[in-house]
Amino acid sequence: MNSEIKVSVAEHNFSMEHRPDADNRNVSEVAVETLIQRMTLREKIGQLNQINAGPHNAIAQISDDLRNGRIGSIINQVDVNIVNEMQRIAVEESRLGIPLLVGRDVIHGYKTVMPIPLGQAASWNPDIVREGAHWSAKEARKQGVNWTFAPMIDVSRDARWGRIAESFGEDPLLNSVMGVAMVEGFQGSDMSSKDSIAATAKHFAGYGASEGGRDYSTTNIPENELRNIYLRPFKAAAEAGVATFMVSFGDIDGVPATANSFLMQDVLRGEWDYQGFVVSDWDSIRQLTAHGLTENDKDAACAAAIAGVDMDMESRTFLYNLEALVNEDRVSEQSLDAKVANVLKLKFELGLFDNPYVNPDDFPEFGSDEALQTAKQAAVQSLVLLKNDNDILPLSPDALSKLSIIGPLADAAEDQLGTWIFDGDPNLSVSSLQAIKHLAEGQFDLHYDRAMPSTRSRDSSAFEGISEAAKGSDAVLLFLGEEAILSGEAHSRADINLPGAQADLVKAIRQTGKPVIAVIQAGRPLTLSNIIDEVDAILYAWHPGTMGGAAIADVLFGRKAPSGKLPVAFPKMVGQIPIHYNHKNTGRPATPDEIIHIDDIEIGAPQTSLGMTSFHLDAGYRPLFPFGFGLSYTQFSYSDLSMTSDKVRVGDTVSVSVTVKNEGDVAGTEVVQLYMRDIAASVTRPVRELKGFQRVHLEPGEAQIISFVIGEDEMAFYRRDMTLGVEPGRFHIWVGGSSEADLHAEFELTQE
């Protein structure tokens, strides 16, 4: 090790205590500046370069670049011994000894897997999301990971899009609250703690609006919609101190996010004063040429650097081109210094200069009881009861002598983990079949038939026999849905029915005449219109993670009550997409008495005789299940909606209260939701917007008064001039258990 020129941590006191110096800058800022002054141009460029270092052992290929300070971060290497060796080379064999950021997609768990984020959103419980991220950080850090590329907070309204699985659904507020909770869970209160990893707000921005629901597709989002819908969760994450942002692959109104200075300079740095750093998405800098924005890699690197990308993920366009771009005065070295400072600051905040190496023994074992308990709690709270005719659920073991369990996802230890689980351990999984077998012991008999080799199988030849066999049971549990590979990145579907011959299986099982309960696992809302009348109950489980089976069994048998609410609408058919609750009213809003069904049109009807409002002849205008919907094993009533005033001055607040009562004979948890509409404004506003929600547990017969406060934050929106603020006028509010709540009140916002 060449110590006489090595910049030692001790020499510059690179430790983390933030003692202000003469210019009131804290030590790490001084340390960063001191370090940058010592760096050559090539070493600076090295800090802006993230390369794929796994899963193979890439030490042989990258050790020279590590020694020459040409790599600032590695991604996808999760063998802790290899990570430590790569880190050792960077720290002890390079001139300046700058440690590496070690990145990995820890999207909804590491070895212990939580429900997919769309499922976590269905809990409407930020606490469990935070807890899940906290355990994911502990497990990831044990293998050397110190940076994750999550939360994904792209507002997603298109169930065809595979990546809706990674989002928190269609609403800006729910994405904001859950995204912030995940950031807090990953980063904790001190990122230098060994329980913390740096988080990433992604994909900035508007990725969820990909045209046609195809991944990586074009997005055209008017600025007012971009600000009022898609940017809100990112603003919340920035305000919550998320360590990094990742730009989207997408072309936004003709300028791909990776080179979009409006997003990265005007909004992120200018309006939000964001102090973290921006990483590209995988190879997204090079893809600027495919988009048709640039002619070649060098121009792409230039465009991305000038627009505001700090670190290049795995395209090497920064590594190979920035030196020439600086020498040609197309990119200033000063601008590179700012990028390097953003990266080094995070390395200090993570404590990597003081503790670059990881001792796995300092961490709990993977799959600890606490981690599994958190995963189970998250899974229970993610389950949404969509249908429960005649209260067929919960099942009572005493009333069963034989239960049939049928379907390709009853015993799916891997598939129940969902998408983006590079490191998930299926050996930790508890499948539904396993959990129900355990519960049935000594109580009732089980008959299990997988029925299909995969969810995509079109072979229905065994169905008749399976149906016959099921006739000997008291009830049938059908485990249906999508394999995990059918959702996630690049896995969009144009037809979102149950894949394969599953609908035929449902119809065959219907022939048994027995109660049929469908448990559906999927990474998106599926169109269920073709089976909804063939089953007595539907429990929607998303991909529920490691403990999904145990959670499903507990809810099916009433040990736990379902409390999940939909974070995204379920269309009747794919042709309705986009269909979301917070839509605009249009000039001709549809109403129940104005629409007509295609089958009811009289022959030879005159041309102008139908509806003349905004709906589909063959689907109407409402989804099959709306945002915020979910049943319980009990019933909740809402009454006594009151406001502290029906006139509110700008700058004041108004309180809204409602009484919620458990009218049933079992305990339950309700998600009380507050929606609001700004009746007239300088730009048209959605017919409803979620402005608050609270989970409340109520014993049978128990009632509670739930209150919300409405202030400027709730009423403010980006107006026609794109400024954020309120406008006096009338507001309607609704409170209830879904976005179709009908308990209603009004108030007026006045200027004085």
Smaller CB distance to ligand GLC: residue 149 or 615?
Answer: 149
Contact track, ligand GLC, 24-63, x by CB under 6 A: ----------------------------------------
Min dist CB 260 to ligand GLC, Å, is: 16
Contacts with ligand GLC by CB under 6 A: the residue count is: 6
Min dist CB 282 to ligand GLC, Å, is: 4
Q: Is 230 in the site for ligand GLC (CB under 6 A)?
A: no
Min dist CB 242 to ligand GLC, Å, is: 14
CA atoms within 13 A of residue 301's CA, in its CB half-sphere: 26
For 542-667, strand residue ranges (E) read: 636-643, 647-649, 654-662
Min dist CB 280 to ligand GLC, Å, is: 9
Contact track, ligand GLC, 111-150, x by CB under 6 A: --------------------------------------x-
Gap between the Cα atoms of 549 and 372, Å rounded? 12
Cα 134 to Cα 115, 118, 131, 419, distances in angstroms: 14, 18, 5, 19
Neighbours of 34 (CB within 10 A): 14
Contact track, ligand GLC, 643-682, x by CB under 6 A: ----------------------------------------
What's the CA angle centered on 144, arms 142 and 146, to 5 degrees?
A: 100
Q: Is 234 in the site for ligand GLC (CB under 6 A)?
A: no
Gap between the Cα atoms of 656 and 658, Å rounded? 7
Min dist CB 97 to ligand GLC, Å, is: 27
φ/ψ of 643, rounded to 5, equals -130, 150
Considering only residues 427 to 486 of the shown chain, the ones binding ligand GLC according to CB under 6 A are: none
Smaller CB distance to ligand GLC: residue 281 or 554?
Answer: 281
Gap between the Cα atoms of 42 and 47, Å rounded? 9
Min dist CB 245 to ligand GLC, Å, is: 12
- Asked, as a colleague might, if the bond just before 205 is cis with ω within 30 of 0, I would say yes
Smaller CB distance to ligand GLC: residue 202 or 677?
Answer: 202
Could you tell me how far CA 391 lies from the centroid of its own chain?
32
Gap between the Cα atoms of 400 and 446, Å rounded? 10
Min dist CB 156 to ligand GLC, Å, is: 13
Smaller CB distance to ligand GLC: residue 229 or 246?
Answer: 246
Q: Is 708 in the site for ligand GLC (CB under 6 A)?
A: no
Gap between the Cα atoms of 436 and 478, Å rounded? 13
Q: Is 150 helix (H, G, I), strand (E, B) or coil?
A: coil
Smaller CB distance to ligand GLC: residue 184 or 281?
Answer: 281
Smaller CB distance to ligand GLC: residue 199 or 446?
Answer: 199
Smaller CB distance to ligand GLC: residue 103 or 408?
Answer: 103
Smaller CB distance to ligand GLC: residue 257 or 619?
Answer: 257
Nearest by Cα to 96 from 80, 63, 72: 72
Smaller CB distance to ligand GLC: residue 29 or 251?
Answer: 251
Considering only residues 364 to 393 of the shown chain, the ones binding ligand GLC according to CB under 6 A are: none
The answer to whether the CB of 220 falls within 8 A of the CB of 211 is yes
Q: What share of the chain is helix, strand, coil (3-state, %, to 5)?
A: 30, 20, 50
Smaller CB distance to ligand GLC: residue 244 or 502?
Answer: 244
Query: Which distant-in-sequence residues (6+ apart) come within 8 Å of 428 by Cβ?
Result: 111, 112, 113, 366, 367, 372, 546
Min dist CB 107 to ligand GLC, Å, is: 8
Gap between the Cα atoms of 732 and 219, Å rounded? 32
Q: Is 105 in the site for ligand GLC (CB under 6 A)?
A: yes
Could you tell me how far CA 306 lies from the centroid of its own chain?
29
Phi-psi region of 558 (alpha: psi -120 to 50; beta: other; left: phi over 0): left
Of 105, 154, 281, 299, which one is the catalytic site residue?
281
Smaller CB distance to ligand GLC: residue 281 or 714?
Answer: 281
Min dist CB 192 to ligand GLC, Å, is: 23
Min dist CB 741 to ligand GLC, Å, is: 34
Gap between the Cα atoms of 458 and 504, Å rounded? 9
Nearest by Cα to 691 from 747, 620, 636: 747
Considering only residues 523 to 562 of the shown chain, the ones binding ligand GLC according to CB under 6 A are: none
Q: Is 489 in the site for ligand GLC (CB under 6 A)?
A: yes
Min dist CB 311 to ligand GLC, Å, is: 12
Q: Is 54 helix (H, G, I), strand (E, B) or coil?
A: coil
Considering only residues 245 to 284 of the shown chain, the ones binding ligand GLC according to CB under 6 A are: 281-282
Nearest by Cα to 539 from 562, 557, 559, 568: 562
Phi-psi region of 100 (alpha: psi -120 to 50; beta: other; left: phi over 0): beta
The answer to whether the Cα torsion of 517, 540, 523, 366 is positive or negative is: negative
H or E element at residue 202:
strand 200-204
Q: Is 639 helix (H, G, I), strand (E, B) or coil?
A: strand
For 580-718, strand residue ranges (E) read: 636-643, 647-649, 654-662, 668-678, 689-698, 703-710, 717-718
Min dist CB 255 to ligand GLC, Å, is: 18
Smaller CB distance to ligand GLC: residue 14 or 282?
Answer: 282
Pairing of strands 251-252, 255-256: antiparallel
**H-type alpha helices, 143-281:** 172-187, 223-225, 232-239, 261
Gap between the Cα atoms of 510 and 149, Å rounded? 44
Tokens of 141: 């850090």
The residue with its CB nearest to ligand GLC is 149
Pairing of strands 654-662, 636-643: antiparallel
Considering only residues 146 to 205 of the shown chain, the ones binding ligand GLC according to CB under 6 A are: 149, 202
Note the maximum CA span of the chain.
93
Query: Which distant-in-sequence residues (6+ apart) come within 8 Å of 560 by Cβ?
Result: 380, 551, 554
Smaller CB distance to ligand GLC: residue 139 or 166?
Answer: 166
Min dist CB 249 to ligand GLC, Å, is: 6
Known catalytic membership, residue 171: no
State the residues that interact with ligand GLC by CB under 6 A: 105, 149, 202, 281-282, 489
Catalytic residue positions?
281
